[in-house]
């Protein structure tokens, strides 16, 4: 883990306005995330965990405040620039995998690469590497419905890492999996963190899953409390 900051969030305010109603989710949130950390985020339902991941990943913007990524304020980027920034730096992993049902594993993994200017051969090579890393080389031609939940999540991880982003944002990545399968997925995330230096921010309700991270944050009433800071436990 380096001491360099990947994220520096300053005085983040987030309000959702619906009709005449305005809900304040964050009001003066400050957090920093160091490069190469595996951070877990726990907190009650509705506390703003997904909202925070969306802001970190540049799919939602704060109402005010600054999100500095490697010193650059991403909340001021235009839509096109933000999309480019996202494609280069961020991989998303969701609870229900969000795979395209009509595409096989390798086609799903290839999707993020279609936004880039790469040859078919380059794309194939990256897809093969990503599927190998998650241990699914032998399932490349399977459709999502022909894969187990754990295997579908592996495809989703391969899709998230195929363009080699610095950051993986995971929203309840093991929420739909049994304990054994969840452990395998968490070990894969740990490997991506330790061996490949990916910074990981993972939302989870499960304290066992959170223990795989090396920083555990608890979100409560719009503020974070750091619970522990130790080397990851496997």
Ligand X SMILES: Nc1ncnc2c1ncn2[C@@H]1O[C@H](COP(=O)(O)OP(=O)(O)OP(=O)(O)O)[C@@H](O)[C@H]1O
- Residues lying near ligand X in the complex (CB under 6 A): 16, 18, 23, 25, 43, 45-51
Cβ of residue 54: shortest distance to ligand X, in angstroms?
8
Those residues whose C-beta lies under 8 Å from the C-beta of residue 124, and which sit 6 or more positions away, are none
Residue closer to ligand X, measured from CB, 49 or 198: 49
Round to whole Å and give the CA distance between 198 and 66.
23
CB of 62 to ligand X, least distance (A): 13
Residue 174 Cβ, how far from ligand X at the closest point, in Å? 14
Q: Collapse the DSSP code of 44 into the 3-class scheme (helix H, G, I; strand E, B; otherwise coil) and give the result.
A: coil
- Residue 210 near residue 39 (C-beta atoms within 8 A): no
223 φ, ψ to 5°? -130, 155
Residue closer to Mg ion, measured from CB, 182 or 202? 202
What, of Mg ion, ligand X, none, does residue 28 touch, CB below 5 to 8 Å by kind?
none
In sequence order, what DSSP letters do the residues of 84-109 get, joined into one string?
Answer: HHHHHHEEEE-TT----TTS-HHHHH
53 Cβ contact list (under 8 Å, min separation 6) = 41, 169, 171, 201, 203
Residue 50 sits in the site that holds Mg ion (CB under 5 A): yes
Query: Nearer Cβ to ligand X, position 106 or 171?
Result: 171
Among all chains, which residue has been given the structure tokens 């913007």? 61
Cβ atoms of residues 87 and 115 within 8 Å:
yes
Tell me whether residue 49 or residue 139 sits nearer to Mg ion (CB atom): 49
Q: Which does 48 bind (CB under 5 to 8 A by kind): ligand X, Mg ion, none?
A: ligand X
Q: Would you say 52 or 99 has its CB closer to Mg ion? A: 52
DSSP of 177-223, one letter per residue? S-HHHHHHHHHHHHHHHHTT--EEEEE-S-HHHHTTSSEEEEEETTE
- Binding site partner of 23, from Mg ion, ligand X, none, Cβ cut-off 5-8 A by kind: ligand X
Interaction partner, residue 62 (Mg ion, ligand X, none; CB < 5-8 Å by kind) = none
Binding mask 9-48 for Mg ion (x = CB under 5 A): ----------------------------------------
Residues binding Mg ion: what is the number (CB under 5 A)? Answer: 2
Nearer to ligand X, 48 or 165 (CB): 48
Kindly list the residues in this chain that would bind Mg ion in the complex (CB under 5 A).
Answer: 49-50
């Amino acid at each position: 883990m380096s001491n360099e900051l990947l994220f520096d969030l300053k005085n983040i305010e987030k309000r959702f306005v619906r009709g005449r109603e305005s809900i304040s989710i964050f009001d003066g949130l400050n957090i920093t995330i160091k490069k190469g950390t595996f951070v877990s985020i726990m907190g009650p339902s509705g506390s703003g965990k997904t909202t925070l991941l969306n802001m970190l990943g540049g799919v939602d913007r704060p109402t005010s405040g600054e999100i500095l990524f490697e010193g650059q304020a991403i909340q001021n980027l235009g839509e096109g620039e933000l999309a480019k920034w996202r494609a280069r730096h961020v991989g998303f992993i969701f609870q229900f995998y969000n795979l395209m049902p009509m595409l096989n594993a390798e086609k799903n993994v290839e999707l993020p690469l279609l936004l880039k200017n790469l040859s078919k051969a380059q794309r194939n090579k990256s897809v093969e590497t990503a599927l190998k890393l998650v241990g699914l080389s032998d399932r490349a031609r399977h459709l999502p419905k022909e894969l187990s939940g754990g295997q579908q999540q592996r495809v989703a991880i391969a899709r998230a890492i195929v363009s080699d982003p610095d950051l993986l944002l995971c929203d309840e990545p093991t929420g739909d999996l049994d304990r054994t399968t969840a452990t395998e997925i968490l070990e894969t995330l740990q490997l991506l963190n330790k061996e490949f230096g990916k910074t990981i921010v993972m939302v989870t309700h499960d304290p066992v899953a959170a223990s795989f991270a090396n920083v555990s944050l608890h979100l409560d009433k719009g503020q974070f409390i750091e619970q522990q800071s130790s080397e990851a436990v496997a």
